[in-house]
Amino acid sequence: MTEEYEIEKLNPRKNPYTKRLKKQVTISIDQEVIDYFKQLSEQSGLPYQTLMNLYLLDCANHKRQLQLTWS
């Protein structure tokens, strides 16, 4: 190993996965929602947190709006 490296000669490249990095957040979710996704998890074989992320990502990608009315 050399004591110094010439950074310009190393040919650095960008990480191709930087757009897909996840961020950990704290969020309060009702137990029945967690139970629902855990049930889906058992059926699909995917972790429930992955299913929740995929669902929210689909909502974001399709710009879904919540249709909610109070009675």
Q: What is the pLDDT of residue 24?
A: 92
> What are the start-end ranges of the H helices in 21-68?
31-44, 48-61
Which residue's entry shows tokens 């029945």? 32
Task: Using the predicted structure, report yes or no on whether residue 1 has a pLDDT greater than 70.
Answer: no
Higher pLDDT, 37 or 22: 37
Q: What is the pLDDT of residue 63?
A: 97
Q: Quote the tokens at residue 30.
A: 């009702």
pTM for this one? 0.69
Q: What is the pLDDT of residue 61?
A: 96
Q: Quote the tokens at residue 43.
A: 């059926």
Task: Using the predicted structure, report yes or no on whether residue 58 has a pLDDT greater than 80.
Answer: yes
Report CA 15 to chain centroid distance, whole Å.
17
